[in-house]
Amino acid sequence: MARNPSWTARLPWMLAFAVAMAWLESAVVAYLRALYYPGGFAFPLAPIDVRLALIELGREAATLVMLFAPGALLTRGRLARFAWFAILFGVWDVFYYIWLKVFLDWPGSLFTADLLFLIPAPWVGPVLAPCIVSAGLVGLGMALLHRLEREPGFRVSAVAWAWLAAGAGLILASFLQDPLQHLAAAGARPWSVAAAGGAGLEGLAHYVPGPFPWWWFLAGCGAAAVGVWKAVAHGRA
């Protein structure tokens, strides 16, 4: 019986997929910015029609499905699927900004603020922050696949998952805190972009990001790092 290829043998094609996905995503954003930000992207956001905002939400959801699908096709194991998703998401996210730099010469620096995501509410932060998270996801995914190949029965402990979840929660809070406070002050419903937008994201029409809560973000990175260490070094077989 032929042996299944190792994860490292599959890695080049998976990376190629993520890089190509990033090109496609960046191209769409380049088109949107040519339409709505002909002078270059900056806050506050330009008004967008509600219908297009909903299409954008669907595009983001579809992107997550597409990044999950390759790993789901390769393996039935939930942990391995999670590991592949982490690798693909991280590579896709970093190359998304690389391609935007190639296409638009944006961002100007790693500390340039960006609208990162819209599900379930607007995420805002400097470009450096999601790139740090993505690098961590790639490292975690590769470490998990390495352990799984050596120990097929390897599992991540509940304690490790708790640390990872706590870190993810703090990082997510760092991205959501400032825009949610603005939406609440504007009387908008923050958990629905269409509702909060009124005639197209009106809730963020005058929003300019304030100082990024780096302490929250770094605390989340620290908790996540503990979770990665416990997951990889002290998992349960």
pLDDT tens string 98-132? 999 999 999 999 999 999 988 877 899 999 999 99
Token digits of residue 145? 């696949």
How many CB atoms are located within 10 Å of the residue 193 CB?
Answer: 26
Q: What's the pLDDT at 1?
A: 41
Q: What is the pLDDT of residue 235?
A: 57
Confidence label for 201 from pLDDT (cuts 50, 70 and 90): low
User: What pLDDT does 181 receive?
Assistant: 84
* pLDDT tier, 47 (very low <50, low <70, confident <90, very high otherwise): confident
Q: What percent of the chain has pLDDT over 90?
A: 65
- So what's the pLDDT on residue 3? 59
Mean pLDDT of 22-49: 90
CB 206 within 8 A of CB 47: no
Give the separation between CA 138 and CA 113, rounded to whole angstroms.
23
Give the whole-angstrom CA distance, residue 71 versus residue 85. 6
Average pLDDT in the 9-31 region?
A: 95
pTM of the complete model: 0.91
- Report how far Cα 17 is from the mean position of its chain's Cα atoms: 16
**Quick check: 136 pLDDT over 80?**
yes
Using an 8 Å Cβ cutoff, are 96 and 26 in contact? yes
